[in-house]
Amino acid sequence: MPPAAQRRARAWQAIGYVNAGMQLPSVDALTLLRAHAWSHDRELDDVARQVVLHELPLAHLAPDVDAPF
């Protein structure tokens, strides 16, 4: 599998992990992954890799509802 395809496959795996672990539909799971990547100045593929390898706990993807706006 080419490297780009492998990274994209990992992103889909991470979406599945978030689906199952947080009981969210795919569109919301992808949104959480993207939001985490953006807020930490990281690439989506890097965040996905960490989720799949269990280096990033799913709880760290949840929004901070107590944060002031």
| Long-range pairs of 34-41 with CB within 8 A, sequence gap ≥ 24 | 35/61, 35/63, 36/60, 36/61
Tens-place pLDDT, residues 23-42: 999 999 999 999 999 999 99
* pLDDT band (50, 70, 90) for residue 68: low
> Alpha-carbon distance 50 to 53, whole Å?
5
Dist CA 44 CA 8 (whole Å):
9
**Cα Rg of the chain (Å, integer):** 12
Q: Which one is the CATH code of 3-61: 1.10.10, 1.10.150, 3.30.70, 3.40.50?
A: 1.10.10
- pTM score, two decimals? 0.84
Q: What does the domain layout of the chain look like in residue ranges?
A: 3-61
